[in-house]
Structure formats: C-alpha cells, structure tokens
Amino acid sequence: MESIGVKIVVIGGGTGSFTLLSELKNYTHNITALVNMVDDGGSTGVLRDELGVLPAGDIRQCLVALSTTPRVRDLFNYRFDDGGMKGHAFGNLFMAALEKMTGSFADAVETASEVLSVRGRVEPITLDDIKMVVKLDDGTVVNGQHNVESLKIPEGQRPWLDLEPEANINPRAKKAIVEADLVVIAPGLLYGSLAPALLVKGVTRALAESKAKKIYVCNLVTKPGQNDGYGVADFAAEIERFSGVPLDYVLYNNHRPAADLIEKYAHDGEFLVDWDEDELETKHYRAIGKRLIADGAWVNKNADSDPLAAQRSLIRHDADRVARELMRIFFA
C-alpha cells in the first residue's frame, strides 16, 4: 500500500512516535515528524543545563526511527555505561556538538538526518528554548517535563498547561502541516509529550489552514495518576482542547489482551483505555476501533539504550497495523 506521494505529518515525540514512524516509513517516503521540545530529563536534561543546547532526545528517537542505516542507527542509540559520559546517548552528544559548532539546532537536525539517511524529515515543532508548566485547581504549579511525569492529577480534573516562554512554531513545521494530506497525532504521554507540541503558538492556525485529514491514534493504557478513568473519548477531548481544532478521526484499539496481562499492568496502576461505542457514535469525529495491540510478548533488544521503550514491552501498538489503518483512512 506504499504511496510515495502521500504527505503525512506525525506530531508527538518519545516512544509513541518512534514506534509508529518505524513502520509508517514503509508506506510513504513523504513523512515529516514534528517533535515536542520540552524534554529535560536524563542525558538531554544534563546537556541542556550544562551546554545550553536545545533538547535532542525525542528528536534523536524520531531520526533513528526513520533511519535506513542500521549500523548508524544503533550508534546514535548507544549509551555510555561508565566514565564521565555515563548515561549519555551518542546521538545526543553528536547533535549537541553540531549545535554548538553551527549555532543552529535546525542545522544539527538536518546534518544528523543526512548521516542517518533518514526517509522523510524530522523537525522540531519550535526552535525556542522552552519549559512546560502545569497548574492544578488547588494552585499547585509544576515546571518541567521531568517533574510533570511524576505529577499526580486528581481524577476528573483537567490540568492547565502552558509553555514558558511563549513558543513560536518552526516555519518548516508550519509548512509541513499546511501542505499535509494526513496529520497524525501519535500516541504518547498526553500531558508530558503531546500537549507541549500542540500548545506551540501557530500550531492551531496551521492545523485550521490545513486541508489534511486529522487523526489521533489513542493510547493503549492510562498513565498512573494522570489519566485514571480516561476512556477513548476523554483522550480525544483533551487532544482537541490543546490543539484548538476538531479531529476528523480517532483510531483506537478495541481488543482486550489476556486477562493476566491486563492484571500485570493494573498492578502498576496502568489500565487498558476503555471505549464506549455508543458514546463515540455521538461525536463529530469518526471513531474507528480495530485490533491494534501487537500479538504476544516482546523483549526490547535495545532496552539499555532505550529504557522508556523497555517499560512498554508487553501491551504495545502493532505499528504496522496502525500504519495500514492510517493509509486506509487516507484512501477512503
């Protein structure tokens, strides 16, 4: 079903985008990954603090996902396990060096894309140096993505989010959205990854101007303390709240894995995202439920270099199934 001419934009960052892009690149050569720029944890956070560079972690993951050179891809994901560089991914260091040398993060991404022989493009959603801020109803204010990831949000409450300072959309990102045939909001951390990308000034206007079909691929499981009790419609409503534009489609999983697997996740406070078909039929968007969960258990061979992906080693999207459904929606 490959169609080189289909212009697809994927908005997000982190493991959700990485997984989807890894397979979606097999269906189109005209793909652009737009990545949030609020990562401030781990290797990325250290480099931001010590060198004053923009966050490369999620950008690196998307570049690696779209790379067509396995050896260089593994090199960019390699993490040092001892010495002064312990914990740093080579790709993060490479891009930090490029940014310091050229004075341009955009140039660093472009050069890394050439080295990795990327199929498609990866663009930061903004080139501004920003942090995310979350405020709860009781007045609690939390700054930074790393801190937000551990934030407990009272069930039923929808937090207020912002970016500081104000972030402006990267002109290349705007152009990609406006010219796209399909805009896909990838699965990922709702408040820590997706919202920060959608809140960038100019994204709402670009989405409104674009004639692309706008699709949200819903998460499979909830994040403990943040999405407790959220169903498919709740996730979609939050995506629309942050993006400022209505969705055309919501693609969600309607298959329940084995009971023991669900129980294993529930033990850690993660629950399968539920769906109410009657409720979804009343929405302005078309909700499409399919079996999107991958079959069987999975061991992440790159667990040391990608610990976040290792934590999602059981209930996970079958990215090829998702990619095929996205292409069907486009051609429908």
Residue with tokens 């740093």, as numbered in its chain: 88
152 exposure class (CB count in 10 Å sphere: 0-12, 13-18, 19+) = exposed
Q: What is the pLDDT of residue 141?
A: 96
Residues 6+ apart with CB under 8 A from 136: 153, 154, 157, 159, 160
The verdict on residue 33 lying in a domain is: yes
Question: Does 303 reside within a domain?
Answer: yes
Q: Three-class SS of residue 124?
A: strand
SS3 28: coil
Helical spans, DSSP H, in 244-315:
259-267, 277-281, 307-310
Domain encompassing residue 64: 8-331
Look up tokens 């908005």; give the residue: 11
In a domain, 267, yes or no: yes
Asked if residue 74 is part of any domain, the answer here is yes
What was the pLDDT predicted at 4?
Answer: 59
Based on the number of CB atoms within 10 Å of its own CB, is 285 exposed (0-12), middle (13-18) or buried (19 or more)? Answer: middle
The amino acid at residue 183 is V
Would 2 be classed as within a structural domain? no
Q: Across the 332 residues of the chain, what is the mean pLDDT of every consecutive 10-residue run?
A: 77 93 94 97 94 96 95 95 92 96 96 96 97 96 94 92 97 98 97 97 98 98 94 98 98 92 90 97 98 70 42 77 96 89
Residue 155 lies in a domain: yes
Token pair 């996730």: residue? 235
Neighbour tally for 176: CB within 10 Å: 26
pLDDT score for 296:
58
Q: Is residue 59 part of a domain?
A: yes
For the chain, the domain total comes to 1
- What are the phi and psi torsion angles at 208 (to 5°)? -65, -35
Rounded CA-CA distance 23/66 in Å is: 9
Output the pLDDT for position 284. 98
Distance CA 23, CA 39 (A): 24
Q: Would you say residue 3 lies in a domain? A: no
CATH number, domain containing residue 71: 3.40.50.10680
Dist CA 320 CA 19 (whole Å): 9
